[in-house]
Structure 1
Amino acid sequence: MNAHSAPAGAPADVRLPPEVRRARWAVSLVFLLNGASFCAILPRYPELVEALGLSKTAFGLAVGIGPIGGLLAGLFAARLMRRFGSARVAVLTQIFASSAHLLVYTSGSWWWLAGSLVLAQAADAITDIAMNAHGMRVERRYRRSIMNSYHGWWSLGAVAGGLIGAACAQLGVPLWIQGITGLVVFGALAAAALRFLLPGHDATERTPVAGPSAASAAEVPGSVPSGFRIAGMSLRALSLVIALGMVLVFAGSTEDAGSTWGALFMVSTFDSTPFVAGMAFVALQGAQTIGRFTGDAVVDRLGDRTTARLGALIAAAGMSLALLVPTPLTAVIGFAAAGWGVATLFPAAYRAADDLPGVPHGVGITVVGWFARLGFFLTPPLVGALADALTLRYALWMMPLYFLGILIFSGVLSTRSKQPGATVP
Structure 2
Amino acid sequence: MSHQRAITLVFAVHGAVAGSFATRIPWIQDQLGLSPGVLGVALLCPAIGAIIGMPMASRLAHRIGERPAIQLLLAMWCGQLALPALAPASVWLFGAMVLFGVTAGMSDVVMNAHAVGLERHLGRSIMTGLHGMWCVGSLAGAGAGMVAAQLGVDARAHFGAVALVLLSVGLVSGRSLFTGRAGAAAPAPRRFVLPSKAIAGIGVVGFCGTFAEGATADWAAVYLTRVTDAGPGVAAASYTIFMLTMASARLVADRFVRRFGPVAVVRCGGSVAATGGVLVVIARTPALGIAGFALLGLGVAAIVPLVFAAAGNAGRTPAEGVAGVATITYLSVLAAPAVTGWTADATSYPVAFAMITGVLVVMTLLAGVLKVRDELPAPAGGFPAPTSAPRGMEEQAQEEHASPASA
Change in Cα spacing, 1:183 to 1:394, as seen in structure 2 (3 Å) is farther
Code of the aligned partner of 2:74: Q
The structural deviation recorded for 1:31 is 0.3
Contact 2:55 2:191 in 1 (8 A): no
Q: Which residue number corresponds to residue 311 of structure 1? A: 269
The C-alpha deviation readout for 1:243-283, integer Å capped at 9, x for no partner, is 1112222222233235545566677774525xx66544432
Change in Cα spacing, 1:407 to 1:389, as seen in structure 2 (3 Å) is same
> 1-side partners of 2:77 and 2:174: how far apart?
16
Q: Which residue number corresponds to residue 178 of structure 2? A: 198
Of 232, 253, 277, 1:272 maps to 232
> 1-side partners of 2:108 and 2:198: how far apart?
21
Q: Which residue number corresponds to residue 9 of structure 1? A: none
- Structure 2 counterpart SS, 1:359: coil
Q: Which residue number corresponds to residue 185 of structure 1? A: 165
The structural deviation recorded for 1:64 is 2.8
Quick check: 1:352 aligned with 2:333?
Answer: no
Contact 2:311 2:318 in 1 (8 A): no
> 2-side partners of 1:110 and 1:61: how far apart?
10
Q: Which residue number corresponds to residue 148 of structure 1? A: 128
Of 128, 148, 162, 2:108 maps to 128
The structural deviation recorded for 1:25 is 0.7
> 2-side partners of 1:175 and 1:165: how far apart?
9
Q: Which residue number corresponds to residue 377 of structure 1? A: 334
Q: Which residue number corresponds to residue 88 of structure 1? A: 68
Superposition map of 1:305-344 within 5 A: 305-325=263-283, 328-344=286-302
Identity of aligned residues (%): 26
The structural deviation recorded for 1:129 is 1.0
Q: Which residue number corresponds to residue 251 of structure 2? A: 293
Q: Which residue number corresponds to residue 368 of structure 2? A: 411
Code of the aligned partner of 1:26: A
Moved more, 28-37 or 383-392: 383-392
The structural deviation recorded for 1:68 is 1.1
Q: Which residue number corresponds to residue 14 of structure 2? A: 34
> 1-side partners of 2:19 and 2:216: how far apart?
11
> 2-side partners of 1:112 and 1:265: how far apart?
33
> 2-side partners of 1:415 and 1:104: how far apart?
40
> 2-side partners of 1:393 and 1:49: how far apart?
30
Contact 1:31 1:154 in 2 (8 A): yes
Change in Cα spacing, 1:103 to 1:408, as seen in structure 2 (3 Å) is farther
Q: Which residue number corresponds to residue 35 of structure 2? A: 54
Contact 1:354 1:365 in 2 (8 A): yes
> 2-side partners of 1:354 and 1:117: how far apart?
27
Change in Cα spacing, 1:394 to 1:49, as seen in structure 2 (3 Å) is farther
Contact 1:314 1:338 in 2 (8 A): yes
TM-score by length of structure 2 reads: 0.78
The C-alpha deviation readout for 1:59-113, integer Å capped at 9, x for no partner, is 4443233211111100111100001112222222222223333233456655444
The structural deviation recorded for 1:241 is 0.4
Larger relative helix fraction = 2
Quick check: 1:254 aligned with 2:254?
Answer: no
TM-score by length of structure 1 reads: 0.75
Change in Cα spacing, 1:154 to 1:390, as seen in structure 2 (3 Å) is same
The C-alpha deviation readout for 1:117-166, integer Å capped at 9, x for no partner, is 32222111111111112222322332222222211211221222333334
Specify every segment of 5 or more residues in structure 1 that has no aligned partner in the other structure, as ranges: 1-20, 216-229
Change in Cα spacing, 1:147 to 1:191, as seen in structure 2 (3 Å) is same
Superposition map of 1:6-17 within 5 A: none
> 2-side partners of 1:114 and 1:382: how far apart?
23
Moved more, 58-67 or 140-149: 58-67
Change in Cα spacing, 1:196 to 1:347, as seen in structure 2 (3 Å) is same
Contact 1:69 1:119 in 2 (8 A): yes
Code of the aligned partner of 2:166: F
Quick check: 1:76 aligned with 2:34?
Answer: no
Q: Which residue number corresponds to residue 322 of structure 2? A: 365
Code of the aligned partner of 1:198: F
> 2-side partners of 1:66 and 1:79: how far apart?
21
Contact 2:34 2:90 in 1 (8 A): no
- Structure 1 counterpart SS, 2:77: helix
CA RMSD of superposed structures (Å): 3.6
> 2-side partners of 1:40 and 1:189: how far apart?
15
The C-alpha deviation readout for 1:152-185, integer Å capped at 9, x for no partner, is 2112212223333344444544433332222122
Change in Cα spacing, 1:255 to 1:384, as seen in structure 2 (3 Å) is same
Q: Which residue number corresponds to residue 22 of structure 1? A: 2
The structural deviation recorded for 1:38 is 0.6
Q: Which residue number corresponds to residue 100 of structure 1? A: 80
Contact 2:45 2:101 in 1 (8 A): no
The structural deviation recorded for 1:391 is 7.8
Change in Cα spacing, 1:203 to 1:125, as seen in structure 2 (3 Å) is farther
Aligned residues: 375
Change in Cα spacing, 1:58 to 1:406, as seen in structure 2 (3 Å) is farther
Code of the aligned partner of 1:379: A
The C-alpha deviation readout for 1:359-408, integer Å capped at 9, x for no partner, is 34532122112212221122234345556777877655553243134224
Code of the aligned partner of 2:49: G
